[in-house]
Amino acid sequence: MKIICKNCETPNYPDFNYCSNCSQKVNLHRINPHEILHEVVHYFTHADKGIFQLIRDLTLKNGIVAKEYINGKRKKYFPPLNFFLLVAAIFVFISNIPKETPPIDIPKENQELSAISDPIQKEKIIHLYERKEKMLHFMRKYSNLMAMMALPLTAFFFWLFYKKQNYNYTEHLVAGMYMLGYCILVNTLLILPISLLFHLSSKYQALLFLLFQLFYFTLFYYRFLNKSTKLQLAKAFATSAFGIIAWGIISGFTVNAYVSSGFWGMIQ
Nearest to 237 by CA among 223, 219, 225, 264: 219
Nearest to 247 by CA among 159, 151, 144: 151
Residue 71 has pLDDT above 70, yes or no: yes
Residue 150 scores a pLDDT above 50: yes
pLDDT tens figures, 162-174: 988 889 999 999 9
Q: Are 4 and 27 in contact (CB under 8 A)?
A: no
Q: What percent of the chain has pLDDT over 90?
A: 29
Per DSSP, the chain holds a count of helices (H) and strands (E) of 13, 2
Q: Which of 3-7, 107-111, 211-215 has the highest mean pLDDT?
A: 211-215
DSSP, collapsed to helix, strand or coil, labels residue 107 as: helix
Is residue 158 a contact partner of residue 239, using CB atoms and an 8 Å limit?
A: yes
Please check whether residue 179 is in contact with residue 217, taking contact to mean a CB–CB distance below 8 angstroms.
yes
Residue 8, C-beta contacts closer than 8 angstroms, at least 6 positions apart: 19, 21, 22, 24
Predicted confidence at residue 181, as pLDDT, reads: 92
